[in-house]
Structure 1
Amino acid sequence: MSAREINFDGIVGSSHNYGGLSLGNLASARNLGKVSYPRAAALQGLEKMRANLALGLTQGIFVPQPRPARAWLADLGTKPEEAEPALLANAMSASAMWAANAATVSPASDTADGRTHLTVANLRTMVHRSHEWPATLAQLRLAFAHEAFTVHGPVPPTFGDEGAANHMRLCTAHDQTGVEIFVYGLSGGPFPARQHVEACKAIARRHRLKPERTLFVAQSEEAIAAGAFHNDVVAVANERVLFAHEQAFAERETFLGNLERRFPDLDLVEVSASEVSLEDAIRSYLFNAQLVTPPDGRTTLIVPEEARETPSVWTWLQRHLAGNGAIRDVRVVDVRQSMANGGGPACLRLRVVCDPATVDPRFLVDEEKLDRLAGVISATWPEQIAVEDLRQAALIRDIERARAALLEACGLEELA
């Protein structure tokens, strides 16, 4: 079987709550303290995976991390029942469900040694995410243990790295040599720049990418200030298509000129601010969508319900489709629980181009396996969580038991 793109979605963990921990993530801040629905959140994620399977795409999963993060709390000299409320909230975050932040991935066709390289993200900027990488690395090394892969530890935390949410790739086909684009943030706005250019360059060196097929571009401070805490909130790429807001990048003209010289087959789909404001783009997560190529070859955009509910966004999409643009189909999915915490369809998945036969099959799913996982989630995930409930010993036991049941259903007990 030849290489193809596989979307690995993070299953929403049983501790999913609205703790408002992510500075610069407007949805996270807006929903601080609201009641969350972990069971519904996880089932919504599974339904999105079913929709991908129905399109003919290959689908993978990552399982939730241990919550509370007992090892991290122990390193800080405490434990769940004794930790200060703010510290416990950071230990209970389910944000690892956003697999786009798990790692940066360079397919074998782009690398000098012909291996697919993955570098786990250190996520150093946000406390609640800074302790994720060891558990993420354990899953990556298990899923991609085949000799076709090289899995790297994190870039030293001197420099912030938030993974594939700030990385794009353009190519004539997924299994062909591509141009890799690393997007970094600049300081100076009201919110922190989470992706550092030094981390991007380190990853490019580790992955043995050719300099002439690698680009580094700054995200616009305007976009970050508006709430685009990751590049994938304002831009997404798939094969020849770059779909972006006109205010996504600093020095836009220079960047696009450099890109077109490296990739003459570029099909740029740019949305102007006069048609869709940054505010509407970020509220709807128009660009935090999955841009995919099903087997029929029709470039398809998978958007959240919020895109259909935002008039300027839906009007733009319908006009683009009517004009036979590069995006030929739009599919709508319900991921409202994830959206309320600041993560759309693109946040929930990590894209890996490889031969599926080289992936540990326990991390791949079909309809039957999704049915089995849905049964476990329906039986064990808490129906709802209020932030003030996080200290309850009974809830913590339920959260840990639910994850154990899911690991058993996946045959991944070694990740316990």
Structure 2
Amino acid sequence: MMGWREYNFDGIIGPTHNYAGLSFGNIASSVNAGQASAPRRAALQGLDKMRLLHGLGIGQGFFLPHNRPETDWLSRFGFTGTPAQMCAAAWREEPDLLLAASSASPMWAANAATVSASPDTADGRIHFTPANLSTMAHRSLEWPETQRQLRRIFPDPQHFAIHDPVPARYGDEGAANFMRIAPALELPGTEIMVYGSPRDAGFPARQSAEACRAIFRAHGVAGGLLAAQSTEAIDVGAFHNDVVAVATADLLFTHELAFADKATLFTALIDRHPDLRIVEVRDEDVPLSDAIASYLFNSQLLILPDRRRLIIVPVECAETLSVKRWLDAHIGGDHPISEVRFVDVRESMRNGGGPACLRLRVLVSPEAEAAINPLFVLTERRADQIAAVIERHWPERVTPADLGLPDFWAQGWEAVRALEAVCG
């Protein structure tokens, strides 16, 4: 690979992490709505996963939590005064708006942006389009801060291009609906975006085909493929494609019911990439409901420095009988995936986000890697610093009633400021 690396930029889970059940179509979010959350444990679980990847020799970076509650957003609804006064008025008059403004959802960095690798773009740069996340109110307010952080992390226009989001009329949910197939990471590949067909019933299809095409045009990607997600997968709770399929280089790992027309997609991919390996899990072996409940496919499919393939899956996969049976029977030996590692991200899982939801993948050449802002690259020292701030400032437990307390708002703002100070 001549020094090319794939970085995972994870969202640090913010201090207002809570279970408000804001995400219609996300089964875990709905089921756990109203329960007490554990922001400190959540953030440390996410950091432990980052430490694991860093220790494996995988490039690892991070995004900072967004300020929550987001009072700039509340001001657009006519609330005025100090931040605390705006929050108090919103809680009294429009509590649903304060719940949205308090969400820690930017932790799921897979929805931060769509990223096109430099071997695939017309100008040879890495292109980023922040996701508009327009389907859900609490997520639609994320993109301005996401764009600001992208510009801070990837500041050199010689290597990086940061775009504006697609207009909000056309839903875009970022890299959670994006895959890339290539003979090797550093070679030109085929970028795939997965959309949901508009529908009048059932859970919403969050990714529009119009947004997919717009991103390919903006990024200068010729020959990108669009694939429709199956309505069956959406209605069982696969609100993003990365809940039912994941890919890296010449390997696609997917549930057999992930796509509306898998035959056409697979044929197109194999025509372009004859050496493509497709690992397809049959529904009779792992029912779609088990795959989604365990987040088997919301795994991080990694190429280690020694070229072995590894998947990082949540511990729920070890606790779901059909999934554990499949993993035991297939992973290792001559299988394209040589090893599985289980990680505890239960706090994120209870809100509907697994290991892959927490990260944004960015493929970089040695020159592009050198241009990344080092303040956002994880080291052991930086991980220790982040952990110390989390231990000191993140609340141990948050209940639904806490979301309306001035002390809760103040603690959230102070915690983010403390983390920003430590990270420079």
- TM-score category of the 2 structures, normalised to the smaller one: over 0.9
Are 1:82 and 2:89 an aligned pair? yes
Do residues 208 (structure 1) and 220 (structure 2) align?
A: yes
Matched, 1:148 2:149: no
| Separation of aligned partners in 2, 1:265 and 1:198 | 30
Q: State which drifts further: 368-377 or 319-328.
A: 319-328
Aligned counterparts of 2:60 and 2:258: Cα–Cα separation in 1: 29
Shift of 1:322: 4.8
Moved more, 188-197 or 232-241: 188-197
- Indicate which of 266, 270, 273 corresponds to 1:260: 270
> 1:323/1:382 Cα in 2 relative to 1: closer, same or farther (>3 Å)?
same
- State the partner residue of 2:115: 105
Equivalent position amino acid for 2:371 in 1: T
Give the structure 1 partner of residue 386 of structure 2: 373
Q: Which of the numbers 209, 228, 231 marks the counterpart of 1:221? A: 231
- Contact kept? 2:206, 2:239, Cα under 8 Å: yes
After superposition, what is the alpha-carbon deviation per residue over 1:194-243, rounded to whole angstroms, capped at 9, x for unaligned? Answer: 000000000000010112xx110000000000000000000000111100
Q: Which runs of 5+ in 2 are unaligned?
A: 80-85
1:23 aligned onto 2:24: yes
Point out the more displaced range, 166-175 or 131-140.
166-175
Alpha-carbon offset, residue 2 of structure 1: 3.4
Q: Deviations over 1:96-145 (max 9, x none)?
A: 00000000000111101011100000000000000000000000011111
State whether structure 2 residue 202 is matched by structure 1 residue 196.
Answer: no
Distance in 1 between residues matched to 2:226 and 2:240, nearest whole Å: 15
Q: Could you say which residue in structure 2 is the equivalent of 1:385? A: 398
Cα distance in 1 for partners of 2:134, 2:214 equals 15
| Alignment of structure 1 residues 180-191 onto 2, 5 Å | 180-188=191-199, 189-191=201-203
Partner amino acid for 1:198? E
Pairwise CA RMSD: 0.9
Distance 1:328 1:2 in 2: 23
Deviation at 1:344? 0.1
Question: Residues 332 and 339 of structure 2 are in contact (CA less than 8 Å); yes or no, is this contact kept in structure 1?
Answer: no
Q: Which residue of 2 aligns with 1:32?
A: 33
* Correspondence for 1:305: 315
Shift of 1:280: 0.2
Match of 1:282 in 2: 292
How far 1:178 sits from its partner (Å)?
A: 1.0
**Residue identity in the other structure for 1:321:** I
Contact map agreement 2:183 2:273 (CA 8 A) in 1: no
1:119 matched to which residue of 2?
129
CA distance in 1, matches of 2:322, 2:378: 36
| Counterpart amino acid of residue 220 in structure 2 | R
CA distance in 1, matches of 2:270, 2:328: 27
Distance in 2, matches of 1:263 and 1:36, equals 45
1:245 aligns with 2:255: yes
Q: Read off the aligned partner of 2:171 and give its amino acid letter.
A: G
Match of 1:409 in 2: 422
| Secondary structure of the structure 2 residue equivalent to 1:56 | coil
Q: Deviations over 1:262-319 (max 9, x none)?
A: 2222100000000000100000000000000110111000000001100100110111
Candidates 377, 395, 414, aligned match of 1:364: 377
How does the TM-score come out when normalised to structure 2?
0.95
- 1:146-185 equivalences under 5 Å are 146=156, 147-185=158-196
Runs of 4+ in 1 over 3 A off after TM superposition: none
Partner Cα distance (1:187, 1:24) in 2 = 14
Trace 1:295-334 onto structure 2 (pairs within 5 A).
Answer: 295-322=305-332, 324-334=334-344
Give the C-alpha shift of residue 38 in structure 1: 0.2
In structure 2, what is the equivalent of residue 4 of structure 1? 5
| DSSP-derived class of the 1:81 partner | helix
Does the 8 Å CA contact 2:68/2:102 hold for their aligned counterparts? yes
